[in-house]
Structure 1
Amino acid sequence: MSKRIKFSIFYLLIVSTFSYSQYKPETKQVSITGKILEKGTDLPLEYATVVFEDIKTKQLTGGVTDFDGNFKFTVKDGNYNIRFEYISFKSVELKNQTISSNKNFGTIYLEPDIAQLSGVELVGEKSTVEIKLDKRVYNVGSDMTVRGGTAGDVLNNVPSVTVDPDGTIALRGNESVTILIDGKPSGLAGINPSDIIKMLPADAIDKVEVITNPSARYNAEGGGGIINIVMKKGKTNGLNGSLVASVGDPETYGFNSSINYKTDTFNVFSNFGYNYRTNKGEAEFQSTYFDNDTPEIDDITGFMNESRTTKDIDRGYNANFGVDLNLTESLTWTNSLTFRENSEKNPQDVLMDYYDENGVFTQTRNRFSDQNEEDYVIEYATNVTKKFEKEDHIFTADFSVSKNQRDETSDITDVILNSSNPAQFENTLNNNTRNRMLAKTDYVLPLGKDGRFEAGYRGDFSNTLTDFQVNPNTAYSNLLEYVENINALYLQYGNKINKFSYFLGLRWEDSHIEVNSFTSSDFNTKLYNNFFPTATFNYEFTEDQSITLSYSKRINRPRGRFVNPFSTYSSNVNLFQGNPDLDPTFTNVIELGYLWKGKKFTLNSSIYTNLTDDSFQFIRRETGDEVDGVPVIVSTPINLSKEVRTGFEFNVNYSPYKWWRLNTNLNLFSVVTRGDYTYTDFQNQLVTQNFDNDAFTWFARLNNKITLPYKVDWQTNVFYRGPQKNAQGKSLSMTNVSMALSKDVLKDKMTLALNVNNMFNTMKRRNETYIEDVTSSYSEFMWRKRTILFSLTYRFNRKKEADRGRREGGDDDGGDIMG
C-alpha cells in the first residue's frame, strides 16, 4: 500500500472517530458532495481528503474521494473552514463557509506541489494490463518488450487479442473485429486493418482498450468486438515530452518523439517518427495431388514442394499535430492533422520442386517477384466538446476527412531451372485509393441521482477504388469500386437501484453498399437497415466483487480483399480471390462476467457465446487450370449458414511483491459450424460440399515482470495458441516468446531497454488442408524471424511516473470511445 493511501485512510479514521464522539443525534445533518481532479490533466484524485473544521468548536469531520474522485458524506449544519487536500498537492481552502442545506461543491481542481513532489517516493506503477468488468486496458508504456517495435508487437501482447504472422487480427479467436484509433475509424488504419500492424510505431501508442461486448453507443461493426488504440497526448502543463531512439537486428532504425505544450487555455500536442525496418520471412508448401477422374480412388498423380523466402524492407514517416483550445471553461475545440508516408520493398523468391507419382524429381521452377509499395495517409479531424453546468452533462461533435493512397507493383520472373525453355516475365499493378468522411454527435444527460440518458448520430461515408492489373495475363486484372455509406442513430438509458444497475440501448444503422467491377461489368448494390439492441445488467456483491450480464447484436460487412475478385499473384498455383457476392454476417453476443478486486490481485472471468448467421468461411477449390500439370487452387470466402462460438476467458493480475508482477490471460473456445455450399465447378457440374465442423482450441498468454537488483527490470512474455480444426483441414499450434531488460538512468529521465521478439522463431502459421480427390497440403508461414532491438527513451519535464500513471491502479481513459 502506498504512503498516500496509508496517510489518507489513517487521516479518515482519526477524523471519523473524533467526529463520531462529538455527534449529537438531534443535530440537523446535511449532505456534502463533489469531485476532486488534478488541475491541468482532469485526472481523478483517489483518496483525496475533504476536511470540515467547525469555526467555534474546532471539531473536524469530512470524507475521502473514491476511485473516480467523487466524495459524499454528511455534516451537521454550521460555519466551517473547509480544506481539500491530497498528498504532494497544494491544498484549496474555503474560509468561513455557512452550511445550512445540502451542498454540491462541483469540481475542485488541485495543483501538484512541485517542491513536495520532488521529495516524495511514488510507490508502485500502473499495471501493464488493467482489468475492468466492461473492458481491459493495456498500458503500452509499461511493456518493455514493444519498445522500438510496431503496433503489431503491441497487439500481440494484449489480452484476448491474437495477431497471425500474416497480420490477421482476431479477438478471442474471432477475426470479425473493429479497429479504432482514438475512439473512431481513422485513416491511420490504412486501406486494410492489417496495415496498422506494420505502419504504426509502438512508441506513439499510449494504450489499447479491448471491449468484447460494446453498448449501443459504439459502432455495430465487428462481431468479435472493438479494439481501440489510444495515441499519446500530453496532459501536463508546460513543455514536456519524450524521445525514443532504437536500433536492431535484422537491420532496424527508429526514432519517435511525443512533445506537448499545455497551458490553462490551450494544449498543443504532437507525435513525429521515422522508422526503417527489415523483416526476414519464409514459407513452405508441401502438396500431394490426386486424380479427380476416379473419385472413388485416391490415385496420386504427383507431388510439389514450394518454398518462399521474403525480405520485407519498410521505411516510413509519421506525423501528428494538434491543438486543444479551451474557448471557455466548459467549451473545448480540438483540431488535429495526421500524415503518414511509407515505402516498402518485399522481394519474394519462390522455388517449386516437382515430383512424379513415384516421388521421382522432375523439375524445379523458380518464380521471383520483386514487390514495391508506396502509400500515404492524410487525415484532418476536429472535435467540439461542451460541458454543461450539471456534472457529466456533455455534448460532443466530431468531423474528420481522410485519404489513403497505396500503390503496389510487382515484376515477376518465372523460369524452369536447367531447362532450355525461355523465362516468362509478368508484372502486376495494384493501386488503391480510399476517401473517407466521418461525422458524429453524442449527447449525455444525467437524470436524477444515478440515471443517465445518451443519444447520438454517426455518418460514415467511404469510397475505395482498386485497380489490379496482370500483364500479359489479363485474366486476373480488374478495376473495382467499393462504396460504403452508413448512417446510424442510437438511444440508451441506464440507472442504478441500490446494488443493481442496468443499461439498455438501441442502435439503428442504414447501409448503402456498392461493389462495382468495371472490368467485368458486374455491379452489385446492397441496401439494408437494421436494429441493434444492447443490454447490460450489473450487480455489486461488495465494493470489490460484481457480476455482469450483457447482450449485443453486431454486424460484419465484407470489404477490402474479401469482395475484390482479383487474385494475389506471388504464386501462380496457390491464389486468393475475393467474392463480390458476400453478404454481411450478423452476430448475437451474450456474455456473463465476474470481477473480483483483491489487495494483490484482480480477477476477471467470463463465459461468452457468439451466434452468427451467414458466417464467413474460406474454401479452397480447383479452378480447372494447370501449371506444368499442377492444378491451380484458389482460396475464396463464402457465406455459410451458422456458426456458434462459445468460450471461457480468465484474466488475472497478481502482484505477490512490489518487485514481481504477473498478468495472465487464458481463453478456451469451441466453434461449431453448420452449412452446405453449392457451386458450379470448372467442368460445369453442380457440386455441393458439406462444411459441418466442430472445433475446439485455446490460447494463453503470460506476462511476467520482475525487478532485479540494481533496479533492472526483466520482463518475459509467453504466448501459445493450440491447434484448431476447420472445414478443409486444421491449423496447427503456434508459440511466441519475447523477453526484455530495462534500466532507468539519469534520475529516471532516461530508460535503456533491450528486447527480443520471436526468440525461438516459433511464431509460424501452420496449416493442413485437404480437398477431396484433388490435393492435400501442408503449409507454414513466418512473416518475421527473431528480432533484437535496443532502445533509448529520454523524458524532459516529464517524470517516468507520468507515463505509468500517478496512482497505483489508477486509470486514465483519455476520453470515451466514439463508436
Structure 2
Amino acid sequence: MKQINFAVLLVLFFTGFYNYAQQGPPARNKVKVTGKVFEKVSKQPLEYATISIMSPNDTKVIAGGITNPKGEFEVAVAPGTYDIKVEFISFKSTEIKQKNIQEDTSLGVINLSEDAAQLSEVVVRADKSTVEIKLDKKVYNVGQDMMVKGGTVSDVLDNVPSVSVDSEGNVSLRGSDNIRILIDGRPSNAINVAEALRQLPADAIDKVEVITNPSARYDAEGGSGIINIILKKGKNQGLNGTFIASTGIPETYGLTANLNYKTEKLNYFTTLGYNHRTNEGGGLTNTAYLNADGTPKGFLDEDRDTKRESDGFNGRAGIEWTIAPNTYWTNAINYQNNSGNTTDLINYNNFDAAHNFTGASARLNNGDTGSQNVEYTSNFIKNFNDKGHKLTADLSISRNTDDSDSQITASPSFNNTLNDQVQKQVQVQADYVLPIGKGSQFEAGYKGSFGDLSNEYYVTDENNVKDPNLSNTLEYKENINALYTQYGFKINKFSYLFGLRWEDTDIHVNLLDNSNFNTKKYNNLFPSAFISYEISDQSNFSASYSKRLTRPRGRFMNPAVNYSSNVNIFQGNPDLDPSLTDKYDIGYIKRWDKVTFNTSAYFEDTKDVFSFVRTPNGQYVNGIPVILSRPINLGHEQKFGFEFTFNYTPFKWWRLNSNFNLYNVKTTGENTYIDTNGNTVVQNLDNQANTWSARANSKITLPYKIDWQLNGTYNGEQKTAQGKNLDQFSMNTALSKDIMKDKATIAFNISDIFNSRIMRSYTYLTNDVTGESQKSYGEMQFRKRQFNLSFTYRFNKPKGERDKNAQPRNEGGGDGGGDFPG
C-alpha cells in the first residue's frame, strides 16, 4: 500500500511540474528568433549568454532566453519591431535596434568582446556556480570549493552531489558502487583506484562530471554511471601559474605547482606536487555468540586503532601543439610515486556466557606500502569545420606497481605478509563525428583496451613458512574491443539520440600456485536511447535508456586474504561473472533567474549483481569462529529512486545548492556453501530496503570579502541482507580571504566538524543446520576530524579568469564525442 501511495504522489508531482511549465500566454501566432553567441577573439561559444527582447525605447523585457553549450539560442515573440540586447558577464553587450521581425528570423553569429574596464572589477566575483546542472550531467567546479583545499580527489568526490565516498575510499553514485571512474575521459589505470584517488591532490582537478545514464559513445562499464575527473590545463597566453601550500592537523602538509606557458602554436603545461598525510582512524566490533535456543555462548569485543602515514609525489607534464588552426596534438606524461606506513592495533577481550572477562589478546599490524604509476597519453583532434565535423584519436600506455608488506604480531604467533602487483595497460581509441544538415549528427568509433596484471601474495608464520591456504600467485589478463555508432537529430522541440555499442571481452583469471585457470569470454550489445523535449528556453524534459555492464575487478576477484584481523577476514572471488544493468531515467530541469531545479526518477534492473556474504570458514581462534567475507553473484537487484538537485542564489553574496536522493532496493538471491560437518547450508539473502541521503552547501561572502562555506551530508539507515547500516551525519566548514590585490588566497577548513563520520552497522548470522547464531555491532572511522590551512598564490592568472584564448574543441579524448544535438 505504501508503494502505491508513493507512486500516486510521484504522478501528482510530475503532473504539477508539467502543468506549471505549460502556463503562460498561448504560443500561436509567434515567430522564432534564433542565433549564436561567440567570443570574438577565439570564436568560442558562450554558454549562458543572455538575450533580451524589448519594445523600442523601453527597458521592460518582453521575451528572452539564454544560450546552450553551443552558444545557440531560440526565443519566441509575436511579430513586431523590437530592440534586442545580448549580454555576458565581463563582456561588452551588443544591441540591435529597431529590428523588424515578421517571420522566423536568424540573427546569425553575434560576437562579443571582453570589456577591459569591467574585467578587473568583475572577475573576482564572476565565479561559476559550484555545481552546474545540465540535462545529461552535473558539472562540479572544484576551483570554487574551499572545502577541498589541501585535500585529495577523494575529498573532492565526497562533496559532489549524488556521489559519496565510504571509509575505505570506495566511490558510489546514487548509493551504488557499480560505477566507472574516468580521468580526462580515460579509465583510471591505477591498480587500487580508491588509493590512487586518495593520493592525487585536489588542487590538480579542474572539475568533475557526473553522468548517470551514459550514451553508446562511452564505455559500457559502470552499471550506475560514470564519473569523469578533468585535470587542470592552463590556457592563458605567456607564462602563468598557481602555487598552493598547505598544512594541517593531524600532521599534514603539501606543496603543489600548476604552471603553463603558451605561445601561438605551443602550449606547455605541468603540475607538480608533494604531500605528506596522516590519517588517524579506528573502529570496533562487538560480537555475541548464541546457542540454538538463543542463550549466550560467549562474547568477543574488538577495539581497533589505526594510523596511516603517506608521502606522495604527483607529476604531470605535457605539450599541446596547434598544427593548424583546426588541428591539435597533445602529449603528456603522468607520474605518481607514493609510499606509506600503516599501524593497526587490535585489542581482543573475551567474555563467557555470563559476560565475565576471561582473557585478552592483541594483534599489531605494521605495514609498509609503495606504488609507482607511469602513464603516457596522446590526443589528436582534427576539426574539419566549425560545425562539429571532427576526428579524434587517443593512445594511452601505462605501467603501475603496487607493493605492500606487513608484520603481524599476535601472541603466540607471528606472521609476515607480502603483496606485489604489476599492471601494464594499453588503450587506443578513435571517434568520428559528422553533422548532417541542421540539428542532426552521426558518430562512430572504436576502442581497444588491453591489460595484464600479475599479483604475488603470501603469508608466512613465525618460522617463515608460507601458508598455502592464504598464499597465491594471480595472473589476470583482460582484452576488450569495442565498436559504437549513434545518430542524433532534432525535430521541432524534440531531440533524439539513438546509439548501439558492441563490446567483446576476453578475460583470463589464473591462480598459478594451484593451476586453477578461469576464462571469461563474452560479447554484448549495449543499446541506448535519449529523448528530450524543450518546453521553453528555461525548461526541458528528458527520458533515457541504456544497457550497462559491471565487470568484477580489483579486490573483488583477487583471492588474496586481508589478514589484518584473524577472526574477520576478507577474500576475493576469481570466479565472479559480470553483471548487466538496464537503466531508465526520466528527468526535468527548470531554470529561473536565481534558481535552477533538476529532478529525475530512475530505475535500474541488474542481473548477477555482486554482493558480499559472511560465512564461517570452519576455523577457530581461541574458540572464536573465523568469519569470511567474500563477494558472490547473488542474483537479481532492482532499484527505484528519485533525485532532486536545487541551486539557488538569493543574493550576489549568497549561493545555495542541495541534493536529495531517495531510493528503494530489492534484492533476491541465495548463497549455498558446505560447512565443516559436510552439511549443505543455504542462506536466503532476499532483501528489500528504503534509504535516502541529503546534502546541502552554502557559500556566503561576509564583510571584508571573506568567503564562508558550510556543508552537511546525511545518509539514512539502510537494511541489508545480513543486518543493517545505521545513519550517518557529517559537516564541514571553510573560510577564505583574497589578499595581495587578489593574487593570493588564504583558506582554513575543518573536515568533519563533529567527528561524526563513522560507519556503524549490525550484522546477524545464523547457521540453519545447527541453529547457532551471532550478532555483531561494528563501527569504522577511516579518518578523524582534520584541520587544514592553505595558501594559494597566482601569477599572471587572476582569480576566476576565464579562458580567453581557448579554441572551440573537445579536449581530454578518451570517451569524448560530439555534443547532443539541439
Fold conserved between structures, TM > 0.5: yes
Q: Residue 324 of structure 2 aligns to a residue in which SS?
A: coil
Name the CA distance, whole Å, in 1 between partners of 2:88 and 2:271. Answer: 32
Matches within 5 A, 1:701-716: 701-716=695-710
Of the structure 1 ranges 363-372 and 30-39, higher mean CA displacement relative to structure 2 is found in 30-39
User: Is 2:154–2:169's contact at 8 Å kept on the other side of the alignment?
Assistant: yes
User: Is 1:270–1:321's contact at 8 Å kept on the other side of the alignment?
Assistant: yes
- Of 379, 383, 390, the residue aligned with 1:383 is 379
Q: What residue is the counterpart of 2:28 in the other structure?
A: none
Name the CA distance, whole Å, in 1 between partners of 2:672 and 2:143. Answer: 50
Name the CA distance, whole Å, in 2 between partners of 1:640 and 1:431. Answer: 30
Q: Residue 217 of structure 1 aligns to a residue in which SS?
A: coil
Name the CA distance, whole Å, in 2 between partners of 1:119 and 1:714. Answer: 21
Q: What CA deviation, in whole Å up to 9, does each residue of 1:180-210 have, x standing for no partner?
A: 00111133xx212212331110111111100
Residue 333 of structure 2 corresponds to residue 337 of structure 1: yes
Q: What residue is the counterpart of 1:542 in the other structure?
A: 536
- Of 469, 477, 502, the residue aligned with 1:475 is 469
Matches within 5 A, 1:372-451: 372-389=368-385, 391-415=387-411, 423-451=412-440
Name the CA distance, whole Å, in 1 between partners of 2:481 and 2:811. Answer: 26
Q: What residue is the counterpart of 1:161 in the other structure?
A: 163
Superposition RMSD on alpha carbons, in Å?
A: 2.8
Matches within 5 A, 1:596-675: 596-675=590-669
Residue 452 of structure 2 corresponds to residue 463 of structure 1: yes
| Count of residues in correspondence between the two structures | 746
Name the CA distance, whole Å, in 1 between partners of 2:35 and 2:162. Answer: 39
**Amino acid paired to 2:792:** T
User: Is 1:758–1:785's contact at 8 Å kept on the other side of the alignment?
Assistant: yes
User: Is 1:480–1:564's contact at 8 Å kept on the other side of the alignment?
Assistant: yes
Matches within 5 A, 1:43-442: 44=46, 47=49, 66-67=67-68, 68-70=70-72, 112=114, 114=116, 117-118=119-120, 124-187=126-189, 190-291=190-291, 295=292, 297-389=293-385, 391-415=387-411, 423-442=412-431
Name the CA distance, whole Å, in 2 between partners of 1:747 and 1:457. Answer: 50
* CA distance 1:132–1:91, shift in 2 (3 Å): closer
Name the CA distance, whole Å, in 2 between partners of 1:84 and 1:648. Answer: 37
Name the CA distance, whole Å, in 1 between partners of 2:674 and 2:643. Answer: 42
* CA distance 1:366–1:813, shift in 2 (3 Å): farther
* CA distance 1:681–1:359, shift in 2 (3 Å): same
Q: What residue is the counterpart of 1:775 in the other structure?
A: 774
Q: Residue 801 of structure 2 aligns to a residue in which SS?
A: helix
User: Is 2:401–2:423's contact at 8 Å kept on the other side of the alignment?
Assistant: yes
* CA distance 1:34–1:322, shift in 2 (3 Å): same
Q: What CA deviation, in whole Å up to 9, does each residue of 1:320-375 have, x standing for no partner?
A: 00111010111111000000000011110111111111211111111000011010
Q: What CA deviation, in whole Å up to 9, does each residue of 1:96-140 have, x standing for no partner?
A: xxxxxx999998987756566336566542111111111001111
Q: Residue 399 of structure 1 aligns to a residue in which SS?
A: strand
Matches within 5 A, 1:743-782: 743-772=737-766, 773-782=772-781
User: Is 1:36–1:48's contact at 8 Å kept on the other side of the alignment?
Assistant: no
Name the CA distance, whole Å, in 1 between partners of 2:107 and 2:469. Answer: 72
Name the CA distance, whole Å, in 1 between partners of 2:212 and 2:676. Answer: 42
The structural deviation recorded for 1:378 is 0.3
* CA distance 1:712–1:558, shift in 2 (3 Å): same
User: Is 1:494–1:501's contact at 8 Å kept on the other side of the alignment?
Assistant: yes
Q: What residue is the counterpart of 2:733 in the other structure?
A: 739
User: Is 1:204–1:232's contact at 8 Å kept on the other side of the alignment?
Assistant: yes
The structural deviation recorded for 1:676 is 2.0
Report % sequence identity.
48
Q: What CA deviation, in whole Å up to 9, does each residue of 1:49-72 have, x standing for no partner?
A: 99xxxxxxxxxxxx9983433479
The structural deviation recorded for 1:47 is 3.9
Q: What CA deviation, in whole Å up to 9, does each residue of 1:627-667 have, x standing for no partner?
A: 00000000011112210011000000001111111110000
**Amino acid paired to 1:666:** F
User: Is 2:749–2:788's contact at 8 Å kept on the other side of the alignment?
Assistant: yes
* CA distance 1:121–1:788, shift in 2 (3 Å): closer
**Amino acid paired to 1:404:** N
Residue 493 of structure 2 corresponds to residue 503 of structure 1: no
**Amino acid paired to 1:670:** N
The structural deviation recorded for 1:84 is 11
The structural deviation recorded for 1:626 is 0.3
Name the CA distance, whole Å, in 1 between partners of 2:122 and 2:136. Answer: 34
The structural deviation recorded for 1:37 is 3.2
**Amino acid paired to 2:149:** R
Q: What CA deviation, in whole Å up to 9, does each residue of 1:573-628 have, x standing for no partner?
A: 10001111111000000000000001111000000000000111111000110000
The structural deviation recorded for 1:681 is 2.2
User: Is 1:36–1:65's contact at 8 Å kept on the other side of the alignment?
Assistant: no
* CA distance 1:817–1:647, shift in 2 (3 Å): farther
Of the structure 1 ranges 120-129 and 655-664, higher mean CA displacement relative to structure 2 is found in 120-129
User: Is 1:37–1:107's contact at 8 Å kept on the other side of the alignment?
Assistant: no
* CA distance 1:740–1:119, shift in 2 (3 Å): closer
- Of 562, 571, 576, the residue aligned with 2:570 is 576
Q: Residue 294 of structure 2 aligns to a residue in which SS?
A: coil
Name the CA distance, whole Å, in 2 between partners of 1:48 and 1:642. Answer: 48
Name the CA distance, whole Å, in 2 between partners of 1:85 and 1:140. Answer: 26
Q: Which runs of 5+ in 2 are unaligned?
A: 1-30, 53-63, 77-84, 95-103, 462-466, 767-771, 817-822
Q: What CA deviation, in whole Å up to 9, does each residue of 1:31-59 have, x standing for no partner?
A: 99666236459463654999xxxxxxxxx
Q: What residue is the counterpart of 2:81 in the other structure?
A: none
The structural deviation recorded for 1:263 is 2.2
- Of 422, 442, 451, the residue aligned with 1:453 is 442
Name the CA distance, whole Å, in 2 between partners of 1:363 and 1:407. Answer: 36
* CA distance 1:168–1:317, shift in 2 (3 Å): same
User: Is 2:35–2:110's contact at 8 Å kept on the other side of the alignment?
Assistant: no
Q: What residue is the counterpart of 1:685 in the other structure?
A: 679
**Amino acid paired to 1:514:** H
Q: What CA deviation, in whole Å up to 9, does each residue of 1:395-436 have, x standing for no partner?
A: 000001011101000011112xxxxxxx32110001111111
Q: Residue 614 of structure 1 aligns to a residue in which SS?
A: strand
Q: What residue is the counterpart of 1:557 in the other structure?
A: 551
* CA distance 1:192–1:666, shift in 2 (3 Å): same
Name the CA distance, whole Å, in 2 between partners of 1:442 and 1:268. Answer: 25
Q: What CA deviation, in whole Å up to 9, does each residue of 1:703-750 have, x standing for no partner?
A: 011111111111101000011111100111111110000111112111
Q: What residue is the counterpart of 2:480 in the other structure?
A: 486
Q: What residue is the counterpart of 1:818 in the other structure?
A: 815
Q: What residue is the counterpart of 2:787 in the other structure?
A: 788
User: Is 1:35–1:65's contact at 8 Å kept on the other side of the alignment?
Assistant: no
Q: Residue 338 of structure 1 aligns to a residue in which SS?
A: strand
* CA distance 1:411–1:689, shift in 2 (3 Å): same
User: Is 2:253–2:276's contact at 8 Å kept on the other side of the alignment?
Assistant: yes
Name the CA distance, whole Å, in 1 between partners of 2:274 and 2:686. Answer: 48
* CA distance 1:414–1:574, shift in 2 (3 Å): same
